[in-house]
Amino acid sequence: MKLTKTTAQMQGRIKTVGGDEHFMNRITSIGITEGTSFQTIRNDKKMPVLIYLRETLISLNRADAERIEVEKR
């Protein structure tokens, strides 16, 4: 499922990250890599997706979150 489809308090794992080289460099530099565990903190429509990952709260715009496939833990 896409990261944008997760619900608040859902815990999961990053399955795949897709995008061009610039996107991949930016996303991996903030710690979003395949296999990383995360928890969705907030996911309201038309708002950024907030996730907690590697002891950091990260806000992703919806377009970026659409490129990230996750699986529920």
Whole-model pTM: value is: 0.93
Question: Domain containing 34 — which CATH number?
Answer: 2.30.30.90
Beta bridge partners of 52: 39, 57
For the chain, 73 residues long, give each residue's pLDDT as a single digit of tens.
999 999 999 999 999 999 999 999 999 999 999 999 999 999 999 999 999 999 999 999 999 999 999 999 8
Q: How many domains does the chain have?
A: 1
What is the residue range of 40's domain?
3-72
Q: Which pLDDT score is estimated for 35?
A: 97
Burial class (CB in 10 A: 0-12, 13-18, 19+), 58: middle
